[in-house]
Structure 1
Amino acid sequence: MTTLRTPGPTIGVVGGGQLGRMLAEAAAPLGVEVIVLDPTPDCPAALVARDQIVAEFDDEAGMRELAARSDILTFEIELADQNVLERVSEDSGTPVHPKPSTLETIHDKLVQKRELEEAEVPVPPFRDVSDADDIRDAIDDYGGPVMLKARTGGYDGRGNVPVESKSEAEEALESVAGPAMVESFVDFEREVSVIAAKSDDETAVFPIGENVHVDEILRETIVPARSSDAVEERARRVAEDVLEVMDGRGVYGIELFETTDGEILLNEIAPRPHNSGHWTIEGARSSQFEQHVRAVLGWPLAATDLRSPTVMTNLLGDVEESQDAQLRDLDRILETPGAHLHWYGKREARPLRKLGHLTLTARDDATDTEDLLERARELESALTFVPAQEEIES
């Protein structure tokens, strides 16, 4: 094994949002520096990263500068251009992890599903869509409703359209406005996810989390999931099979359905740290962000054991239109043992935009999960967003 030392190398991250911010926070104690590339000046990661290159995610000149200043490249957003990354990596000799080929697979949901199906990873029945008749045929074969998905560009549920009946097929396809695929609608007991890390010769899998979505946006993650040991083991096996398909080191967020009969079906994969893994910062022996730093560098991975039952809840912009905003009424969070606030440093609140998250960890393993979830919801509901120009009472 190569002798490791600190100060360590520099990681160049394409994307400087909240994931880049938390990556930089996790890298610092390891002696690893982070430089981010993001088109938004003073992006959320800028406060904690060594530097920011202001450039679009497909800006080749900006990417070449990032590579020249980094020992390795990674990304925290799927908008990174895999073709530019591949060219820059080949020309500069700076490796990229996960590999651009994996990013290319992830960019197209149909390609992703086909590769996973070929690898015998369990997925819902699906098919390509070229016109509305293909959706109607899927309703005949799968039964209604079905889920129409944009093959590219969908994020946080965007581009996913449930189609209840054949009469809705034409309008649904127009709303997607681009290449599409259709899946059978999964009758699931709960949505779960696994955060898994892959290095050169080892993998590490965190305990599964149970996810609560509203309007296709993640609201809460509950760990441990309210699933059986058998279901958790099936989810772990599926996650390990997914890692075999993915090319390159790093953390992967693997979203799954637990069906009503206890089976596991894969929904989607994110080749990066994932919102549903934020609970790991306080709830596990290591965070998904530390694991990603270790993994992309080829360093030994850390332990993933659960420290204590944990609930994570997203803090979403509860505003009707975009505005400058502050978060206030933090007292209850700061006064509550086991409660942890993460504010992302975004200066604009937009409707349902992710502005931060909070986690609540149990004080002992005997804590009831339902009680923990209820207390986390109470803490979240006590927070309010106000225009930034309003004065905060002293």
Structure 2
Amino acid sequence: MNDQKPIIEIKNLTKTYRTDRKRSIVERFRRRASGSTEDFHALKNVSLTVQSGRIFVIMGLSGSGKSTLLRCVNRLLEPSEGEVTIDGKNVIGLTNKELRHLRATKLSMVFQHFALLPHMSVVDNVAFGLRIAGVPVKERRARATEILNLVGLSGWEHRRPSELSGGMRQRLGIARALVMDTPILLMDEPFSALDPLIRAELQQELLRLQRSLHKTIVFVTHDPNEAAILGDDLVILKDGEIVQQGAAKDVLLKPQNDYVKRFIEGVDKTRLLTAEHGLDREFPVTVADTAHPSFDKPSKYGGLIAVVDSDRRPIGIIRSSSADQTYSETAKRHLISDFIQLQLDSPLAPVLPQLSGHATAALVVNEEGRFIGAVTAHSVVRALQAQ
């Protein structure tokens, strides 16, 4: 978590639906006097914080309160109790005018169902929010065209939504939210209705956009693998209550109770591993330009040894079975200068194909760029077994 002040802070949020409204006043009084109630609590004393520039995932089964919580953030639903603070302002007490201003300047929302306007062109769908905000035609068209290019829909500006595929319509929904240029993006299961391949493509597209735009994204899903791919932080709800929250990789790798264990049972843990999980600090290393490289553990590591300079910054990897050669002789024949370098928080998933494809290692450095160990296929297997 960042130490900075959270951009969204939720305290003791409760949402209650009264189910006895159709009963007579006398009947309602009798039931309450006897302690009987049919009130349904969609949320129960939920408290959490969302840090700026991160993807915060809300996860749970149907009926757990995920979408209710998201809609309470921008007051599409009115909370029964509690506080929702956005950028230091409690939104619960806002007037309708203030709330409209908040939604126009701070919050955009992407729904599971696109709610596109079928009679409008693609570019006019994207620009619709700007039109409502009173932005001149030329400016809103230019901004909409720019965003369409950003989400990969350039060339489709004058088509109708009915001419787009499901994945393209979802890109259009994202574009419509992005064009408002709000710092916070609320996404309610936006990819759940899509085919698996299109869904995977859009997940990666969202990550690509996030790397350049640095939005604060609150993302609702019921899929643990989607949470593993997208989430920086994660909260799991059950029956309107929080059962676990924290950094996404910590929640998914270290479930605190049986419910969470069952819920995340099918998650692909390779997506969660970082170089720190697979780090082997005993990986052999030698300093360049020494008389003889030090192969102290050649058999265990298949003759691989990391080569560093006098400041312990990686130069490459040597693959050699001979400790009798000088460094220069070995380097000429066996130095691999095109090697993988990672930091402790680097995800391992992107480099797993290289590590498993042939005998090699990824060299790991600290924040100063100095060698501290390596990740190998064997160390990755050990890390998975430890989870």
TM-score w.r.t. the length of structure 2 is: 0.22
Which structure: greater strand fraction?
1
Higher RCO structure, 1 or 2 (CA under 8 Å, sep 6+): 2
- State which structure, 1 or 2, has the greater radius of gyration over its C-alpha atoms: 2
TM-score (norm 1): 0.21
